[in-house]
Amino acid sequence: MSITKAKVFVTYAIPDKGINMLKERFDVDVYDGEEFLTKEQMLERARYADAIITQLRDPIDKEFIESLESVKIIANYAVGYNNIDVEAATRKGIYVTHTPGVLTEATADIAFALMLAVARRIVEADKFVREGKFVGWKPKLFLGYDLYGKTLGIIGMGRIGQAVARRALGFGMKIIYYNRRRLPEDIEKQYNAQYMDLDVLIETADYISIHTPLTKETYHLITAERIARMKPNAILINTARGPVIDEKALYEALKERKIAGAGFDVYENEPQLTPGLEKLDNVVLLPHIGSATYETRDKMSEMVAINVIHALEGRIPPNLVPE
């Protein structure tokens, strides 16, 4: 007697580690094409699956969810899950999971890499050398800003925000932070971090790093007015989600040199940039690679596989998204 295996649909190929775990148990359909699938193509393959593994760029909205016939779990291959209508999934009794924890350090590294790259003009300087323009040491060649002794304002002091704070301590920075809820005193002490009202932080910090999830409350948290109140030497780093910042307003401020610079790993209308951003020399632009290390992406794939295995074997997956 042949037993039909449960079907798992993966909307875009993820590292083998997790896929192999799934293949041992289930019938796994992995999309591995050059182009992204359209929503309709995705739905065609997802409709009768038992589980789907989704990416942060997949719009898993109400309409998509309501068309699913047999899916028991949507396992997002990301810590952020703003691409999924969790309410609609919950109403349909579908689990939604994400990958918290495993990408904390890699993402904090990218935030720090951006901070250093913008402050010390690493990308510009590299280009200068490659173009054969380096003719010898000069006292004013590529002057940038110190990190040492400066104030870092962390917006969103969860796992990734705290990992950034740990790095900042090693660089001799002073840490201030804003969070939905103030952290317990012992954690504040650990980072020598001072809690501040968001507007005070914005006016005080030399560097600002964003680490909040994208929610209704954090959409355009960094408004034109807040950007206008930043210090002229301020450097703004975003490795969280693009729409947390009013990107058009930030572009204008950067173009007019109202603030010193910005480092982007994420964009408001990803993968599109605000036109002109790519022409500015006071920005560093990355293609959303915060978690892109071999080690981290392997762990993320393992985590989505574990979540799917739990759901399809009748257990509660360990990494349900928070309510």
Q: Give the interface with ligand DGY as residue ranges (CB under 6 A).
A: 56, 78-80, 103, 290-291
Q: How far is the CB of 23 from ligand DGY (least distance, A)?
A: 23
Quick check: is 226 catalytic?
no
Nearer to ligand DGY, 169 or 292 (CB): 292
Rounded CA separation 164/76 (Å): 24
Nearer to ligand DGY, 56 or 68 (CB): 56
Nearer to ligand DGY, 234 or 305 (CB): 305
Q: How deeply is 256 buried, as exposed, middle or buried, from its count of CB atoms within 10 A (0-12, 13-18, 19+)? A: exposed
Q: How far is the CB of 79 from ligand DGY (least distance, A)?
A: 4
Tell me which of 211, 226, 241, 310 is the catalytic residue.
241
Q: How far is the CB of 300 from ligand DGY (least distance, A)?
A: 7
Give the dihedral of Cα atoms 252, 255, 257, 259; nearest 10 deg. Answer: 50
Nearer to ligand DGY, 81 or 95 (CB): 81
Tell me which of 121, 211, 226, 288 is the catalytic residue.
288
Nearer to ligand DGY, 47 or 159 (CB): 159
Spatial CA neighbour of 160 closest among 98, 209, 222, 214: 209
Rounded CA separation 108/69 (Å): 39
Q: How far is the CB of 290 from ligand DGY (least distance, A)?
A: 5
DSSP annotation of 158 reads S
Nearer to ligand DGY, 179 or 291 (CB): 291
Q: How far is the CB of 124 from ligand DGY (least distance, A)?
A: 26
Say if strands 261-264 and 235-238 run parallel, antiparallel, or are unpaired.
parallel
How many other CB atoms sit within 10 Å of the CB of residue 61? 13
The H or E element spanning position 247 is helix 247-255
Strands across the sheet containing 235-238: 193-195, 174-178, 151-155, 207-210, 235-238, 261-264, 283-285
Tell me which of 105, 124, 203, 270 is the catalytic residue.
270
Q: How far is the CB of 70 from ligand DGY (least distance, A)?
A: 27
Q: Are 221 and 249 in contact (CB under 8 A)?
A: no
Quick check: is 310 catalytic?
no
Residue 281 token pair: 């020399």
The H or E element spanning position 176 is strand 174-178
Rounded CA separation 314/62 (Å): 24
Quick check: is 270 catalytic?
yes
Catalytic sites, residue numbers: 241, 270, 288
